[in-house]
Amino acid sequence: MLYKYRSLSTLIALSLFVKVSFGQSITVNCLSSGQEGDCTSFIPAFCNSIASSGNATILPFDNIARCFNTPDFEFKCDFTAWNNLPAPNGNVPNGVNCEATMQLISELCPAGGNGQVVGANFLFTLDPNAGECTQNEANGNPS
């Protein structure tokens, strides 16, 4: 029982740390089942690729996604940024919001989940899945 208490304390401390260091609140929803996997190493590549280019402008209610194969092909990591803002023009995701949200999802949700900076227009999802990225997915790995 003490272990569960410590885990809850760690979770609360982590949430408060993110709020204090980032200056904003982030909501996170974890998937309750599915493939578990550590996709942390791909977060900077995904967030930098969608935030640093004008080609990453995402229309209202549309998304941009990338798939990354783990080095041993044990599983793949699917990342998505959803533009929830109903505006006439597209928007570019904020790289800082992306990284902070994805890192928190990665730390709190072994099977993946989604999250959003409160008040921001992008919802970010991280989902480890069995198998490999296919040609129909935006593959983050050069071949």
Distance of CA 27 to the CA centre of its chain: 12
- Return d(Cα 8, Cα 140) in angstroms, integer: 34
- Return d(Cα 107, Cα 77) in angstroms, integer: 15
> Helices then strands (H, E): number in the chain?
3, 5
- Return d(Cα 31, Cα 51) in angstroms, integer: 25
Residues 70, 109 contacting (CB under 8 angstroms): no
pLDDT at res. 120: 87
Token readout for 126 is 């991280």
For the chain, give the number of residues.
143
Domains of the chain and CATH, by start: 24-129 (3.30.430)
- pLDDT tens per residue across span 15-50: 333 443 456 799 999 999 999 999 999 999 999 988
pLDDT at res. 27: 93
Task: Point out the least confidently predicted range of 33-42, 54-63, 64-73.
Answer: 54-63
Is pLDDT at 141 greater than 50 in this prediction? no
- pLDDT tens per residue across span 107-126: 999 999 999 999 888 999 99
pLDDT at res. 18: 45
Q: Using pLDDT thresholds of 50, 70 and 90, give the confidence band for residue 61.
A: confident
Token readout for 17 is 């740390």
- Return d(Cα 140, Cα 37) in angstroms, integer: 17
- Return d(Cα 123, Cα 111) in angstroms, integer: 17
In sequence order, the 6+-apart residues with CB closer than 8 A to the CB of 60 are 83, 85, 86, 87, 88, 89, 90, 91
